[in-house]
Amino acid sequence: GLTATAVGDDPRWAAAGVALSLLLALTGLGALLLRLLPGRRPADEQEVLDWFDAWLADYRPTVGLYFSGGPSSAYQANMWLEPLAKLDARPVIILRERFMVPKLAPTDIPVVCLPKVSTLMRLEQSTLQVLIHPSNSGKTSQVLRIPTIKHTFVNHGESDKLSSCNPYAKAYDEVWVAGPAARERYALAEVGVEDKDVVEIGRPQLDAVRPYAGPPAGPYTTVLYAPTWEGWDGNPGNTSVVAAGENLVRALLADPGVRLLYKPHPLTGSVDPRAGAADLRIRELIRAANRRRSG
């Protein structure tokens, strides 16, 4: 308004500008005052804790998934959501970081976020019987203090990397693994995990895969190539992507009767740039093969 008045020498523009500013200020003040009303005021910490205690008493959860990690690690929890939902139990997902909540895959399982250790300890008085842990994190030790809950380590996949026989696993009551190979891996590693604490549960994420019923009847044989990533320890044998991935994919794509599914680990290339570069080249090989086959 002041600018228009200066240009056009008309004081009405200045008055209109002042009036508009006052209107906007009053609108903002009104919005703030509304938030002070009892029904609109955010709950304080004690009110939230009282609600949480009441919810625990009403829902009576029996099994939970405990997860803490960085922004790129959500996949480790997401792979267990569907198996958890299928249990004949009252499941709950317990997170420690608020940023992880929107990173969870869609689920009907109740989700609670407990950043504070003091709040986490309220689970000791709950009906929770088992907590499954898809990963080890710095905050895992905090919940392991609760003796009324059985803590089980389910991992987020298995391979011959050192992470699949981590000494930290002995901190849990039980280690749930896919099968005998994992049991043998822990025995050979001699990291303190006793054989009696290793429980073979299969791999629930593969329940939809049908058992072998003879050669494929269709025009294609489907081959899944799902290499793990390079890991943190620099062991060149951790992943096949760098040394053999391209040759393997190239050979498979050369067979017109093969349908290739490529599913690399989400962290491929996050430590070793060579793995990331090889992954990109493999993807381009697959895209080129698709273009040729589609004409």
Helices and strands, counts by H and E, the chain: 10, 9
CB 35 within 8 A of CB 41: yes
Q: Which stretch of 30-34, 91-95, 241-245, 291-295 has the lowest confidence by average pLDDT? A: 30-34
- Give the Cα separation of 187 and 198 in Å (integer): 10
Q: pLDDT band at residue 1, thresholds of 50, 70 and 90? A: low
Q: Smallest Cα–Cα separation from 55: which of 84, 94, 102? A: 94
For residue range 101-133, list pLDDT tens digits in order: 999 999 999 999 999 999 999 999 999 999 999
For residue 18, the surrounding DSSP H or E stretch is: helix 11-35
> Is pLDDT at 6 greater than 60 in this prediction?
no
pLDDT at 290: 93
pLDDT digits (tens, 9 = 90+) for 262-294: 999 999 999 999 999 999 999 999 999 999 988
DSSP state of 169: G
91 in Cβ contact with 109 (< 8 Å): yes
pLDDT at 167 > cutoff 70? yes
The answer to whether the predicted template modeling score (pTM) of the entire model surpasses 0.85 is: no
Average pLDDT over residues 218-247: 89
Q: Highest mean pLDDT range out of 19-33, 134-148, 151-165, 225-239? A: 134-148
End-to-end CA distance of the chain: 64
What's the CA gap between 214 and 36, in Å, rounded? 69
Interval 74-92 mean pLDDT: 96
Q: Give the pLDDT confidence score for residue 5 in this predicted structure.
A: 55
Confidence band (pLDDT; 50, 70, 90) for 95? very high
The mean pLDDT of 51-60, rounded to a whole number, is 96
Task: Specify the residue for token string 């995990």.
Answer: 193
